[in-house]
Structure formats: C-alpha cells, structure tokens
A and B are shown apart, each in its own frame.
Chain A
Amino acid sequence: MSGARVSIIEGASRRAIEATLVEGITRKHLHDVEMKWKPWRSQRLKELGDAITEESSHWDWEAKVDVIEGLVSYAAFVLECGGDAQGIMILNTGFKFCRIQSQDKMPLVYVEFLETAPWNRKQLVTPRRYCRVGPALIDVAIQVSEQVGYQGRLGLHSLPQSDGWYRDICGMTDLGIDRDKGLRYFEMTIEQAAAYLKEGR
C-alpha cells in the first residue's frame, strides 16, 4: 500500500491531483507537524480570534510514534502532497472489537488518531489547500481492515468537532458517548464500508 497514488482535490482550482500514501511516520513527517502545521495553526487561530478552537491541537505525534514503535498491532500512514505531510493516521489492528449488535465482538480496525494539516481544514480556511485528505485516509483504514480479514469494519472515538463528519460524511453508526472516554464512539459495518468505497467520498 505504501507508495500508492491517492486522488485528492486542490482546493483553489478544484482539480484532482495525486498525493502519495506513505506507510510509517518518519522524522520528516514529525518535523512537518511541529515546524509547519503548528505555527500555521497558531497564526490562523490568532487571526480568527476566540471564535474557533482546534481540539486536536494538543496532540503530540512524536510521543504517539514512540509508543507504537516496533509494535505490529499498529499501522501508521501519512498522505504526502506538495512536499509536505497533509494528513496522518494511526490504526490499531490488534485488539479492538465491534459493539454494534450485528457484528458484536467481531474484530475491527480501530482508528486511534487521524489528523489533517490545518490548511486542509474547512473550519480554518477557505479555500483549503487540499480537500478529501481525511476521506482518503478513511479509505485507507477500510482497505487495511479488508487486508487483515476484518472486511472493512472500523471503529473510533471522535473529538466533538468531528462527530458530524464521521456520522454524515463517512456514514458511520453513532453509538453515543462512551463514558470511559467521554467521547462519541462510531463504528462502520461491512455494508457501510462497502458503500463508502463505492461512493468514493
């Protein structure tokens, strides 16, 4: 899967362009997050005043990479375009199980973390530098689920700002607030995964 060409949309021109999917998070990617994503976001949030907050802004990707280093349960992916990381995702393929009754206790791929570069976020800027980065990463997560034999089943806890996106754009089932995490839990069934891939969101 690494090195695959993935179609995303250039925000200004609305033209389809190709990004590159990379398996594994490198020092260069972490550098992009620290030295490009974070300063850009800080500056943009200052410009926007108190109107907007970014719930994922505290995420420490370097610490996350250290935790999963060498563990085959985890898979990490980066979508690169224009020389920069445009989106990052960590998946857990080892020990998470479904909660929807129709697939209760079946294994799934759990999306531990997914974040797109701040200049690709609709709530921060119009037009975005690139669109469809998040959907492309969900597409990858479904493909990983299929590759490990879980038939596209996915699960994740969403930050409140992304609840609507997972429910309405990704078509995942909202199972409500998980009291253990204080976040909404979403799950994608085999059928929802097939529909997602077919519709090419």
Chain B
Amino acid sequence: MSRKTMTLNLTDAEMEVLEKLCARKGVNKTSLLRQALRLYQTVDTRIQRGDKLIFENELTKEKAEVVVL
C-alpha cells in the first residue's frame, strides 16, 4: 500500500499532549496520529449511523455519553 507524507503544524500544547500520549502508549508520533484517525473515522461513522459513544467505568459501571461534534 502506497503512503503519502504530510507536514503537520501543532501548538506547543498539542505537541506536549502528543508526546505524552506517545510515551504512555509506547508508539511513535506517526503511529499515534494514524491510530487517532482510524478511531475518529470509526466514531464518526457510527454516529452518522445513529449510534452513541458511551464510556463505562470498569469498576463502578457508571456510564457517560460522549458528545462528539
């Protein structure tokens, strides 16, 4: 599968978030941003279909709907 390269401009705060997430998840920036895109597309597709995105606390089983714009 062919790949394309792009330049990404981030604020300092966004870069800091990116670097922290990369460290926590053990992946590089490209890998993390590709994962984020895959996740975003899946969430968007499900919401377009009428589904809701819900987080559930593993311990308390409390559920909260995530509003995606």
Query: Which residues of A in the span 107-157 have a Cβ within 8 Å of any Cβ on B?
Result: 107, 148-151
- Point out the residues of chain B lying under 8 angstroms from A94, CB to CB: 35, 38-39, 42
Q: Mark B5-40 against chain A: 1 for CB-CB distance below 8 A, else 0.
A: 000000000000000000011111011101101110
Q: Is the beta-carbon distance between B41 and A71 smaller than 8 angstroms?
A: yes
Question: For window 36-58 of chain B, which residues contact chain A by CB distance below 8 Å?
Answer: 37-39, 41-42, 45
A-side contacts of B45, CB under 8 Å: 70-71
**Quick check: B27 and A95 within 8 Å, CB to CB?**
no
Which of A1, A70, A71, A151 touches B26 (beta carbons < 8 Å)?
Answer: A151
A141 to chain B, nearest CB (A): 16
Across-interface contacts of B34 in A (CB, < 8 A) = 148-149
Chain A residues, CB < 8 A from B26: 103, 106, 151
Interface SS majority for chain A: loop
Query: In the bound complex, do residue A95 and residue B25 qualify as a contact, i.e. CB atoms below 8 Å apart?
Result: no
B69 CB-CB contact with A under 8 Å: no
Inter-subunit contact B35/A23 (CB<8 Å) = no
Are B31 and A72 in contact, with the CB atoms below 8 A? no
Within 8 Å of chain B (Cβ to Cβ): is A93? yes
B41 to A149, Cβ gap below 8 A?
no
- Contacts known (A2-B1, A23-B1, A71-B45); A149 close to B39, Cβ less than 8 A: no
With both chains docked as a complex, state the minimum distance between the C-beta of B62 and any C-beta of chain A, in angstroms.
16
Are A107 and B35 in contact, with the CB atoms below 8 A? yes
**Contacts A71-B41, A73-B41, A94-B42: A150 and B27 contacting too (C-beta < 8 A)?**
yes
Q: Which residues of B contact A1 (CB under 8 A)?
A: 1
Give every chain A residue within 8 A of B28 (Cβ-Cβ): 149
Interface residues of A (CB under 8 A from B): 1-2, 23, 70-73, 93-95, 103, 105-107, 148-151
Ranked 9 nearest A-B pairs via Cβ: A149-B31, A94-B38, A73-B38, A149-B27, A73-B42, A95-B39, A72-B38, A94-B39, A106-B26
